[in-house]
Amino acid sequence: MSIVTKNSAILSAALRVLAIGAVVAAPAGAMAQILPSTAQRPKPAPQVSAIKPQAPAPAASAKTSDDVVAHVGATDITTSQLRAYVEALGAREQAAIAKEPGLLSQAVRAMLNERVVLQEALAKKWDQQPKVAAQLEQLRERALVESYLQSVSVPPADYPSEEELQKAYDANRSSFVVPRQFQLGHIFVQSPKDADRATEDKAKKTLEDIQRKLKSGADFAAVAKAQSEAKDGGELGWLAEGQIRPEIRTRVMGLVKGAVSEPIQLDDGWHFVKLIDTKASTTRPLAEAREQLAQQMRVERAGLLRRAYVAELVKRNPPVVNEIALSNILDAARK
């Protein structure tokens, strides 16, 4: 059982199967290091400065860049198709795949499952049903709008400047504070507060045995492996203050380096915590935070450009809403 406030497991549902046709443009940066690029990105609208596009790939590499990576029935899945599929996932899912490339295999399987269903649906002319056709058209229009808005809201290539970066860093210096960190060892003895008598007695015996060994100078990691449910010798790695449960954090704060806490009872059972080492709170320098800050500033500027562009379009083409007709529709829906 963990003593941290939030489980850091990587996206158990990261690779949800996407609805057929529900593909909208998404940032592809996280996948650039995994899959080779197979197509040029569309040029942005002329109103906005564009980042210089990459040069076309040599003809000799074109064939290898679009290899077949899987197939189902008579349908092949190529590198470029897989790339497009992953790019349509959310930013969080893309980041997970970039961190754990093994998840790419799950993406392929999800894509294969989707293709099987797609083949069956097309064979039965499901896309020709009026309601389905209307939904597909709506999705197509949304994807078109999103893609176009992205193209006209690209910040200038030289944004942010060094001066703009420095001003943003100074104004948000507190955001770059790295809190105090603790390297902890952990031993856990399961014993829920609503456990039966037999479970309590077993836990109590284990608890006393652990205390006796620790007080006699036994190695904490060895005890953790032998007599508790802690893995890896109870090593938890480095945790920031806010990641540690308050009940545990209070005890940790009172420990000197190398000391072990008295057993701490929580709802799930008993915990022993060893303070292995600490790191004082620091502030990340601009040189270290530059890339992250610049990316954040570009995202925010893109949002401003996007809203300004839409506002200008609406100003030139003022919308008119028939409130009476709208009210009639709402009244009919309530009946």
Instruction: Identify whether the C-beta of residue 279 lies closer than 8 Å to the C-beta of residue 181.
Output: yes
How many angstroms separate the CA atoms of 317 and 160, rounded? Answer: 32
pLDDT value at 142 more than 50:
yes
Q: What is the pLDDT of residues 310-323, one digit of tens each?
A: 999 999 999 999 99
- Least confident span in 2-6, 110-114, 124-128, 136-140: 2-6
DSSP symbol at 268: T
Question: Which of the two residues, 88 and 130, has the higher pLDDT score?
Answer: 130
Q: According to the model, what pLDDT value does residue 49 have? A: 32
- Least confident span in 20-29, 159-168, 191-200: 20-29
Mean pLDDT score of the chain: 82
Buried-state track 277-315, b at ≥16 Cβ within 10 A, e below 16: eeeeeeebebeebbeebeeebeeebbeebeeebeeeeee
Q: What is the pLDDT of residues 32-65, one digit of tens each?
A: 333 434 333 333 333 333 333 334 444 444 444 5
**CATH number, domain 180-280, options 3.40.50.2300, 3.90.1150.10, 3.40.50.1100, 3.10.50.40:** 3.10.50.40
Instruction: Identify whether the C-beta of residue 120 lies closer than 8 Å to the C-beta of residue 266.
Output: no
pLDDT value at 284 more than 90:
yes
Q: What is the pLDDT of residues 56-69, one digit of tens each?
A: 444 444 444 578 98
Strands 269-279 and 282-283: unpaired
Q: In angstroms, what CA-CA distances link 285 with 146, 224, 249, 254, 288?
A: 36, 38, 28, 30, 5
DSSP symbol at 304: H
- Domain limits, the chain: 29-40+62-125, 180-280
- 30 phi, psi to nearest 5 deg: -65, -25
> What value does the mean pLDDT take over residues 299-303?
97
Neighbours of 223 (CB within 10 A): 22
pLDDT value at 12 more than 60:
no
Q: In angstroms, what CA-CA distances link 155 with 40, 152, 279, 295?
A: 19, 9, 38, 11
